[in-house]
């Protein structure tokens, strides 16, 4: 990676740290523009989320190095959004020709990021507070709960009664974002991690999986979260079809049984962390 690329990566990381701390301060109920101490209240959320995103990208980076694939430093993407970032990406200059390497590099990120996400969510739920549903004047957002979230909440969350809800702490919210990032990345479309996994498993037939997912996003946008239209549109713009790496095996080439087992594990993880309606206005 060139010196200019390293500087750009460092600058983007710093900007993402600033934007996520700003978002975290708002989540903590502080005014980040009123005082520096108010801004610093966003650090618990920011540091937790940056750890999760860094773990995800580190999984890709070190697995790529293991296979001798050139991998630049990740680009963290700051954004003026509720979560303060669009995540992080590692753009491989060239996809590996080995389908085993492609599979392992793709899966390493979500698995590495899932572990700190679960830890953050578990710890964050333990320190979260139960409030009346009318808290905040009836305003705010309701977070969609995946199967894994529901399980962690059942174990570590405080019991809620009628008219009560769990107000998730900033650390818990960072864990929730980590699960959402894992779910989005594991969708078997294009050059998402799930798209790489799908191509490694099914070869050129993975295009039909991608097409089915794009159609499903359109349907979900009609019946639920409109953000699926935006996400699906971006995937179409960037290319929903996985490129064929030069020299890669033919579609009938099969992966070792161990990778197919891990492919099933990846599908199970996606089912556990996927949520159809991530954000809903509180009614």
- pLDDT tens digit string along 230-257? 888 888 887 777 766 655 444 445 688 9
In a domain, 16, yes or no: yes
Mean pLDDT, residues 197-215: 88
pLDDT, position 245: 63
Residue 60 three-state SS: helix
pLDDT, position 137: 47
- pLDDT tens digit string along 141-173? 788 999 999 999 999 987 776 777 888 999 999
In a domain, 52, yes or no: yes
In a domain, 275, yes or no: yes
- CB count within 10 Å of CB 238 equals 11
Distances from the Cα of 80 to the Cαs of 16, 34, 85, 158, 222, in angstroms?
Answer: 10, 18, 7, 32, 26
Q: Are 275 and 145 in contact (CB under 8 A)?
A: yes
Cα angle 13-123-162, degrees, rounded to a multiple of 5 = 120
In a domain, 216, yes or no: no
How much is the mean pLDDT over the chain? 87
In a domain, 151, yes or no: yes
Distance in angstroms (rounded) separating the CA atoms of residues 109 and 195:
13
Domain with 43, as residue range(s), is 3-85+94-186+253-281
- CB count within 10 Å of CB 202 equals 17
In a domain, 214, yes or no: no
**DSSP 8-class letter at 31:** -
Distance in angstroms (rounded) separating the CA atoms of residues 280 and 283:
9
| Sign (positive or negative) of CA dihedral 17, 22, 23, 25 | positive
pTM summary value: 0.89
pLDDT, position 253: 56
In a domain, 221, yes or no: no
Helix (H) or strand (E) holding 165: strand 164-167
In a domain, 67, yes or no: yes
Nearest one of 64, 69, 57, 58 to 105, comparing CA atoms: 64
pLDDT, position 249: 46
Tally of structural domains, the chain: 1
Cα angle 195-65-206, degrees, rounded to a multiple of 5 = 15
């Amino acid at each position: 990676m060139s010196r200019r690329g390293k500087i750009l990566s460092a600058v983007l990381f710093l900007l993402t740290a600033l934007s996520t701390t700003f978002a975290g301060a708002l989540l903590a109920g502080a005014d980040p523009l009123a005082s520096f101490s108010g801004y610093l209240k966003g650090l618990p959320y920011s540091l937790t989320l940056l750890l999760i995103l860094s773990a995800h990208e580190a999984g890709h980076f070190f697995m790529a190095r293991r296979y001798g694939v050139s991998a630049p430093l990740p680009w963290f993407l700051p954004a003026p959004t509720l979560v303060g970032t669009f995540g992080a990406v590692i753009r491989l200059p060239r996809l590996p020709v080995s389908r085993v390497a492609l599979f392992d590099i793709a899966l390493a990120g979500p698995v590495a990021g899932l572990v700190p996400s679960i830890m953050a969510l578990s710890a964050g739920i333990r320190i979260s507070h139960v409030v009346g549903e009318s808290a905040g004047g009836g305003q705010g957002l309701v977070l969609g709960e995946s199967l894994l979230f529901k399980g962690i909440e059942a174990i570590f969350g405080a019991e809620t009664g009628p008219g009560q809800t769990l107000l998730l702490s900033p650390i818990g919210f960072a864990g929730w974002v980590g699960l959402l990032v894992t779910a989005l990345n594991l969708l078997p479309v294009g050059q998402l991690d799930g798209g790489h996994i799908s191509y490694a498993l099914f070869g050129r037939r993975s295009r039909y999986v991608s097409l089915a997912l794009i159609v499903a996003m359109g349907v979900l946008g009609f019946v639920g979260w409109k953000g699926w239209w935006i996400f699906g549109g971006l995937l179409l713009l960037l290319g929903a079809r996985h490129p064929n790496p030069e020299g890669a095996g033919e579609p009938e080439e099969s992966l070792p049984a161990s990778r197919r087992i891990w492919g099933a594990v990846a599908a199970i993880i996606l089912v556990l962390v996927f949520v159809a309606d991530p954000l809903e206005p509180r009614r």
